[in-house]
Structure 1
Amino acid sequence: MRSNKTGSPSDQDTHTASLVAIPSWIILKVEPMPHNLTGFPRTTRTVRMLPTRSARPARALLPLGIALCLSLFGDLTLYATLASHRESVGISVAAVGIMLGVNRLVRLPANPLAGILLDRWGRRIPFVSGMALGTAAIAGFAVTHGFWPFLLTRVAWGLAWTLLNVSGMTMILDLSTPETRGRLSGLYNVWVLLGMALGPLIGGILVDRWGFRTALLICAALAAAGLAIAAVLLPETAPSRDANRAPNTTLRLRHRFFQGLTLDRSLLIPYGLQLITQLAGEGIVLSTVGLLLERRFGEVITAGSIRLGVSTLSGLLLGGRSLLAAASGVIGGRISDRAGSRWPAIMGSLIMGMAGFILLATTSTLSGLTLGIALGAIGGGSGLASLAALVGDRAPSGQEGSAMGAFATAGDIGSMAGPFLAF
């Protein structure tokens, strides 16, 4: 007589216990097997183990943030020192502006393409590839000489940062839920802004102590350390796709490119606001602080018994601005998570940013200028985190990379156009 038992109670208990022991960040996809010829009932078979969006944010965010921070030192060292050490590279004064701007120009078409790449290949490989390319580019800053070789390294850095930034923002979408997306976006920005604050300071010290080329080689070594951290510790965060759904290979690259730029109409509002905030903050304010100080207070500024040069005070204000923006990004992102809507935090950040911008345009005192920079930093930091979270909320499933690529493009357009409008 044929038995219909599929397993003993002890076997079933062991099977149940093994399922309970599976971590929450792993899911098992199972598919039914057909009824076999012997008449035994259907069983299930495991297809593969896949990470989900709830996968351990801290495990990914720490190596991601450290790698991003270290990667920025070389680029920001150039912003602080290239103009005064252009002879070391063999370029003219006019070429300095080209070198410092071409990396942003490259990112405009590259951001949407990187987003498409992320949606098809996952997040980890593009990020680690960006770290490798960025490390090579920073080393190139130190060893190349002449306009065209140095320009090539700057183009390479622009492509590297595209992969790093779009991958990083997309990973945050993977790791977060609507209840945590604002806070995690703010924490991501902390690492980026920390690199922006420390990069010029540490780079300037290294250049003064050991010279331009040696300083950049040290920055390349720091980036290589970030590459090693990412290669060893950074997990894949991309959500699983339906195993039965074959990728659509009939879409042309041109169609996917414009799809990445437009996506859903509901995303056009956060894209537009990102362009405006980056235009005002990273474009106009960042490029004119030194000029404002010089025109309103002269080459040397006296505050009580302290006398500071314009460059020193400008560096201090911009460094403090980055740190304040980092802190406000975490707070603003958390507020947007708890408010049940992103818009209160976004509107508050816009009001603060406008108040700071108006104050910078009208004040004649150092305290007023400092307050204007502080208000702009708070508005910019909280707005960036909240807008990134809003894009994550509205991004179509499977197109998170394309959505963040277009978001990054909007910001790059604003930050690149700002200096042209300001001067």
Structure 2
Amino acid sequence: MPLSDKRHIIIFALITAFCLFGAAMLYIVLPVHYEEAGLASLWEVGAVLAVNRIVRLPLNPCIGFFYRHISERTGILIAVVLAIATTTSYGVIDSFGGWILARCVWGVAWALLRLGSLFCILRLATPANRGHMTGLYNGLFRLGNLVGMLTGGILADMVGIRVTACIFASAGLVALFLTLFYIPKSLPDDRECGSDISLRSGFTLIANDRGLLRLIVSGGIVALALQGVVASTLSRLIEVHTGGTVSFLGFLLGAATVSGFFQALRWAWEPWLAPLVGRMADSRYGGQRMLGAALFGGALFFAALAAPLPLALWFCCILGFQLSATALTTLADTAASGSASAKGGRAVLMHYALMTDVGSALGPLIAYGMNAFLGINAVYMLCAALFAVLAFLWRNSR
């Protein structure tokens, strides 16, 4: 792999990581500290955590068109400025309407970051290293989730959500520096990346290709479960199963801190585990067969998290689930990039990004809606069933 290609992927990933600090913190902190943030109920929490994804649904085609006429550097620069502004606003907003507006602006920023990175990988990767490049990007940018969730949960329990947001907003200045001085005005474009077609033609192609359709639907359901349900409800699930606090070495830890710790473990191992999974997908193991196996494992762990297991065993199941989540996100993104490279180009990636946004937007709404009537465990059993169906559909893929 040429050094320049790897360097571009690393820079994109680090910029994304710094922009993620504030947004990642909210998924751990808001379900527990929502009253301090000016919200009145958990339903409002679900809406705030979902609206940034909902606003991205009509944006993906626009952002794709946008990137046809501007450089990646310009798109990322706009995203960084918006990320700094929204994270700063988390420290001063005290109304439901204000939170909705701020999260909509963050949705624009993330759409620019997400599609820009997918297009970058499509242009720079080859069939021999696509999994590794995807895993490298995914692993590094989730360091932002590591800092946001772990440090954010601890700081919010200590000094509150408003001070924490102001601290994280300053990290965006590092992303601004990297964008201005380390992203070139144009990236090298020496890869076969499929023939770009219109968004409408891409829809027709996907609708008539069973493999592409299965991939797009799988991406949406994986995003619904991992980015939507788990990211927004793990602290709530821990609160229900533990009674709100966990005793560890004589200390009483709040649900936000415990949730931040378990979620952060995933982000801590992803910089080395995600590229490893990607390399395995590039090798004889085959990414599609690995994706089916990871879906089956995810179904088992979702069911275990909904069960009344002994606390130590239940915590072990959380760790196992996080391992399967690392594999799932890397393998799904690799499959999407590979399919786009073979046919459809950016149009396939835009539909894939659209479906992942649909899934991640519906996740918090479904989770907190079901929680109000059936309880949080029912939400995780639903995810287990969805993953089991997907694993069955991928069982004979080649």
Q: What TM-score does the superposition give when structure 2 sets the normalisation length? A: 0.78
Q: 1:210 to 1:308 in 2, by over 3 A?
A: closer
1:189-338 to structure 2, matched below 5 A, reads: 189-207=138-156, 212-235=161-184, 236-237=186-187, 239=189, 256-259=198-201, 261=203, 263-264=205-206, 265=209, 266-302=211-247, 308-325=253-270, 327-338=272-283
Identity, % of aligned pairs? 28
Measured after TM superposition, the shift of residue 157 of structure 1 is: 0.6
1:93-172 to structure 2, matched below 5 A, reads: 93=41, 95-144=44-93, 146-172=95-121
Q: 1:332 to 1:298 in 2, by over 3 A?
A: same
| SS of residue in 1 equivalent to 2:286 | coil
Measured after TM superposition, the shift of residue 146 of structure 1 is: 4.0
> Per-residue displacement from partner, 1:265-291 (whole Å, max 9, x unpaired)?
342222122222223333333444344
Q: Within 1, Cα distance between the matches of 2:199 and 2:354?
A: 12
Match of 1:369 in 2: 314
Check the 8 A contact 2:6/2:133 in 1, yes or no.
Answer: no
Check the 8 A contact 2:76/2:116 in 1, yes or no.
Answer: yes
Q: Within 1, Cα distance between the matches of 2:162 and 2:14?
A: 24
Check the 8 A contact 1:68/1:195 in 2, yes or no.
Answer: yes
Q: 1:143 to 1:317 in 2, by over 3 A?
A: closer
Measured after TM superposition, the shift of residue 117 of structure 1 is: 2.6
Measured after TM superposition, the shift of residue 188 of structure 1 is: 0.8
Q: Within 2, Cα distance between the matches of 1:205 and 1:402?
A: 41
* Bigger Cα displacement from structure 2, 205-214 vs 74-83: 205-214
* Bigger Cα displacement from structure 2, 136-145 vs 97-106: 136-145
Structure possessing the higher relative contact order (Cα contacts under 8 Å, 6 or more residues apart): 2
Check the 8 A contact 2:134/2:275 in 1, yes or no.
Answer: yes
Q: 1:146 to 1:301 in 2, by over 3 A?
A: closer
Check the 8 A contact 2:153/2:256 in 1, yes or no.
Answer: no
Instruction: Please tell me whether residue 64 in structure 1 is matched to residue 15 in structure 2.
Output: no
Check the 8 A contact 1:89/1:144 in 2, yes or no.
Answer: yes
Q: 1:172 to 1:88 in 2, by over 3 A?
A: same
Check the 8 A contact 2:228/2:363 in 1, yes or no.
Answer: yes
Q: Within 2, Cα distance between the matches of 1:120 and 1:332?
A: 34
Q: Within 2, Cα distance between the matches of 1:276 and 1:342?
A: 18
Check the 8 A contact 1:83/1:96 in 2, yes or no.
Answer: yes
Measured after TM superposition, the shift of residue 124 of structure 1 is: 2.6
* Bigger Cα displacement from structure 2, 148-157 vs 114-123: 114-123
Q: 1:262 to 1:159 in 2, by over 3 A?
A: farther
Paired amino acid for 2:5: P
Match of 2:359 in 1: 414
Q: Within 2, Cα distance between the matches of 1:262 and 1:392?
A: 18
Structure with the largest fraction of helix: 2
Q: What TM-score does the superposition give when structure 1 sets the normalisation length? A: 0.74
* Bigger Cα displacement from structure 2, 295-304 vs 370-379: 295-304
> Per-residue displacement from partner, 1:237-284 (whole Å, max 9, x unpaired)?
36379xxxxxx9xx9xxxx44445565434222212222222333333
Q: Which structure has the bigger radius of gyration? A: 1
Match of 1:341 in 2: 286
Q: Within 1, Cα distance between the matches of 2:103 and 2:59?
A: 14
* Bigger Cα displacement from structure 2, 359-368 vs 186-195: 359-368
Measured after TM superposition, the shift of residue 220 of structure 1 is: 2.2
Paired amino acid for 2:19: S
> Per-residue displacement from partner, 1:81-122 (whole Å, max 9, x unpaired)?
446665666553354433222111111222233233334434
Measured after TM superposition, the shift of residue 213 of structure 1 is: 4.1
Q: Within 1, Cα distance between the matches of 2:204 and 2:242?
A: 45
Paired amino acid for 1:312: T
Instruction: Please tell me whether residue 357 in structure 1 is matched to residue 302 in structure 2.
Output: yes
Query: For structure 1, which runs of at least 5 residues remain unmatched after alignment?
Result: 1-52, 242-247
CA RMSD of aligned residues (A): 3.3
Paired amino acid for 2:8: A
Measured after TM superposition, the shift of residue 132 of structure 1 is: 1.9
Q: Within 2, Cα distance between the matches of 1:361 and 1:146?
A: 33
Query: For structure 2, which runs of at least 5 residues remain unmatched after alignment?
Result: 372-398
Measured after TM superposition, the shift of residue 193 of structure 1 is: 2.0
Q: Within 2, Cα distance between the matches of 1:208 and 1:324?
A: 24
* Bigger Cα displacement from structure 2, 350-359 vs 258-267: 258-267
Q: Within 2, Cα distance between the matches of 1:339 and 1:318?
A: 31
Check the 8 A contact 1:182/1:333 in 2, yes or no.
Answer: yes
